[in-house]
Each structure stands twice: as C-alpha cells, then as structure tokens.
Amino acid sequence: FNVPNPITIGTIYHPFASFGGVGMTLALIIATLWVAKTRPLRRIAGMSLLPSLVNISSPIMIGWPVMLNPILLVPFLIAPLVNMTIAWAAIRLRLMPPSVYTIPTTTPGPLAAFLGTNGNWVSLLVAILCLAISVLIYIPFVRLAETINLESAKVGGHHD
C-alpha cells in the first residue's frame, strides 16, 4: 500500500483493463461465444480464444472485424475505462494493493493482477469482476452487430 505513485498505467491498465489485448477483447470473445447465433462469428471467437488468453488480439480484431467497426468501438473504449475505474476505486479504498511488479504482457488476464500484487486474492477477485462486467458491456453490442451483419447479408444476397 505504501508506494509513491499507486495509480499508474502499470497498476491499473495492464492488470485490469487489457485482458485479451487492447479493448478487453477477451470479453468480446466470451460475449460472442455466449450470445452469437451465427456459426462464422462463433468460429472466429473460438479460434481467437487461445491467442487472446496470452493477450494476442490480432485474430479477433481482424476476424470479427473490430477495426473500423463503429458499433464495437463503443464497448472497445468503455470496457477498459470502466475496469480502470473499478481498479482505481479498489486501490483508493485500500481493498487491494497496487500492482507493483512488472508482469510480462503475455501473462493471462486476471493472473496479471494477482501476480503483480504479490498474490493478493482481492486483486484476483477484482480482475475477475472486471472481466465479467466487460462481458456484460459487450453483450448488447455483439447482438446489435450480429443483427446488422445478418441484415446486410440478406440485402446483399450473400452470407459472410
């Protein structure tokens, strides 16, 4: 708890707001696997899950596609901000210590928070809570994007 700067990019962004890569793409993958009805989206999410566990987001970013998708831009920006706010509040309320150890970027999601705080269980619970909230943030946008994709496929006469 007694660190000179408890709130930094290393204490709240990497351990709590970048699971699966930039934009909490692990939450996007989980939300897609949970609510998507079309086989191509579920297949892309399934193939992207393993790389996403080690914070490689390229498969889902290109396969969904997330890049230049205005619908997915909203949760892509909001989910990390919400997670950083939760982590900031937990550190400020002294529920958990800040992450003070440098953890490799490829450390799987909530494990980065746990290891960065020297094995603090509250940080692991906060990280899991952040992931769950991010999935809930992504779900309505995944449904909307899937509906729009289906409608555009019907209009265009082909399936993507």
Residue 21 pLDDT > 60: yes
Model confidence at 77, pLDDT cuts 50, 70, 90, reads: very high
Indicate the pTM of the whole model. Answer: 0.90
Average pLDDT over every residue of 46-71 = 92
* 116/119 Cα distance (integer angstroms): 7
Which among 123, 121, 116, 115 is positioned nearest to 91, based on CA atoms? 123
CB-count exposure of residue 23 (10 Å: 0-12, 13-18, 19+)? buried
Residue 25 pLDDT > 70: yes
Among the residues of the chain, which ranges form H helices?
A: 9-17, 25-35, 39-53, 58-63, 70-92, 109-116, 121-156
In total, the chain counts a number of residues equal to 160
